[in-house]
Structure 1
Amino acid sequence: MDYKFDRPEESKSKEKAILFSNHLIRWLIYAMVFLVPLFFLPDTVDFFDYNKQYLIWLITGISALIWFFRMIILEGRVIWKRTPLDIPVLIFLAANFLIYLFSIDRFLSLWGSYGTFSQSFLNVLAFVLLFFVVTNNF
């Protein structure tokens, strides 16, 4: 006979961890929406753009890591909510990656230059990642 025993305490702790990660991602996104307009550092050269971009990159990266951790470690599978905008957003990302690859100055294409940090490939990548984090967690 083949017996299979479920560990209820393990499944409850996984459910709690999944629920906690969902709430954490949501609160990080809410914090980003609230903090980005208010956030600035007076000690940097670029008073507005530079600081806000790094805050967006930081919160998006943390949210994406929590989302990947939840999918791979806690749930054991990749869960992807399909939307009609998935393909156009990925095409936009691929086009920006090609622009980065064939750029004359790859450093400026990757990071942006003074006053134009929002026009960098990393910024496009962060917003595409933010799109997928938001659509898969809300």
Structure 2
Amino acid sequence: MRFFALPEPLDPGDFGMSFLERLPLDCLRGDGSGVACATTVDDVLDELFRAAYHGGINGRGQGGAYARLFAWDALYALMGLPVHVPFLEAVRRTADHRWVRFVASTPWFHHDTADLGLAVLDPSRTRVAVLAATDTDVTAPDASARP
């Protein structure tokens, strides 16, 4: 997860792929094109839960209770909320944020079901958090060579 402080408030209408491509993100490096769309916090939380629950293509899932915990921990981190903020207050605050889902045709993304690109603009419009994940590590040695 990466966090970016903006020098001035960003118009919510400008919070899309052209903005994300200007950020120094490894997942968007390369000659590929990308697409971003506005989404809801329900979609984001569902995606975070499914990633934790199933563990991705080659991962180990965590099961229901831990998957919920990890999903909410990730959501709190994306929103910049401290852990002591009560659950219902966190839910109320989600509406003040702008949520975007993205993917790109770069070497980083492999376009399988485990690719994930999420970004959130905070209510002050001066802080962006980006979470990108994939199951495929292009720099990892061949898995068959591991002990």
Higher normalized contact order (CA 8 Å, seq sep 6+, divided by chain length): 2
Greater per-residue strand proportion: 2
TM-score (norm: length of structure 1): 0.30
Larger Cα Rg: Structure 1 or Structure 2?
1
TM-score (norm: length of structure 2): 0.29
Greater per-residue helix proportion: 1
